[in-house]
Amino acid sequence: MSNHIKAGQALTNFSVETTSGEPFTPHSLQAHYTVIYFYPKDSTPGCTTEGREFNERLSEFKALNTVIYGASMDSIKRHHNFKKKQGFEFELISDPDGHFCKQFNVYQLKKNFGIEYMGIVRSTFLFDPQGELIHEWRKVKVKGHAQEVLETLQAYQAKISPPLTFPNLP
């Protein structure tokens, strides 16, 4: 199959537009955990639900030093409208030419009611503060997914962090 990012690897050589006006580049993945969730299309029921679930848990992700990005092939204008209408407090990545999506192998042949077409397969990727991929979810089911990502992140951080120890008190 095509070359795409795998666990333990870092993304290199990309720049995509975000709703903040700042480009999303490899540097954007440094010094914090990053969740990038890919979704098919702004303002559709599943994509709206998924975005809302991540938004509802945003303070919990922030407490774990984690930044959330939603990504699709929609234009930056559509992203601004979607973000404003839904009150999302995280940035959306616009990838109208699909180059960023292809690095993750999320732009694939899909089938719906017997009709084949190319589109984004709902997927999520978790990066560590060095910008390396540590977990991925493919063919995501929306309901409860943001909570699952949060729990995976909590478990990962608990595993790598040394436990707190306290001296014996008299």
Q: Where are the domains of the chain?
A: 17-156
Q: Is 47 a catalytic residue?
A: yes
Considering only CA atoms, which of 136, 110, 132, 112 is closest in space to residue 124?
136
Q: How is domain 17-156 classified at the CATH fold level?
A: Glutaredoxin (3.40.30)
165 has pLDDT over 70: no
Length of the chain: 170
Considering only CA atoms, which of 55, 73, 67, 65 is closest in space to residue 122?
73
> pTM score, two decimals?
0.91
Q: Region 141-146: what's the mean pLDDT?
A: 95
Considering only CA atoms, which of 19, 148, 39, 16 is closest in space to residue 87?
19
Catalytic residue among 11, 29, 35, 47: 47
Q: Which two tokens stand for residue 55?
A: 């938004």
- Per-residue pLDDT of 16-59, as tens digits, reads 999 999 999 999 999 999 999 999 999 999 999 999 999 999 99
1 has pLDDT over 50: no
